[in-house]
């Protein structure tokens, strides 16, 4: 089952004049290898998109997604705890007993 998250992405080529945007991304939780907090200082590069669309108290996470022989990194809105909860919301837990 795929989980919907909000990604902070760059539209177009990476240059000094690139534009940041928020977009929905659907992630397969079984392919997420790592979740790491992304410092807000780093995200300030996104400039106006953060001030217009995301609250000042929001935190960000970088996800490493397995693609077979390599991986893809994306930055999403939400702390690592919030993202992990969203990814594991529908997973089944094996109970010891």
The 10s digit of each residue's pLDDT in 53-68 is 677 778 899 999 998 8
Whether 97 is covered by a domain: the verdict is no
Sign of CA dihedral 82, 86, 89, 95: negative
Q: What was the pLDDT predicted at 89? A: 84
How high is the pLDDT of residue 16? 62
Does 30 map to a domain? yes
Please give the Cα distance from 28 to 16 (Å, whole number).
Answer: 32
Position 34 in a domain: yes
Looking at the domain assignment, is residue 66 inside a domain? Answer: yes
How many domains, the chain?
A: 1
pLDDT, residue 5, reads: 95
Tell me: pLDDT of 47 over 70.
Answer: no
Does residue 25 lie within any of the structural domains?
Answer: yes
Domain extent, residue 37, equals 3-88
């Amino acid at each position: 089952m795929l989980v919907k998250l909000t990604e902070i992405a760059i539209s177009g080529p990476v240059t000094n004049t690139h534009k940041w945007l928020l977009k929905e991304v659907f992630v397969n939780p079984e392919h997420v290898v790592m979740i790491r907090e992304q410092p807000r200082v780093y995200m300030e590069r996104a400039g106006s998109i953060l001030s217009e669309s995301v609250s000042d108290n929001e935190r960000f996470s970088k996800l490493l997604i397995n693609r077979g022989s390599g991986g893809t990194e994306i930055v999403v809105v939400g702390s690592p705890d919030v993202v992990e909860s969203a990814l594991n919301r529908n997973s089944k837990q094996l109970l010891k007993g």
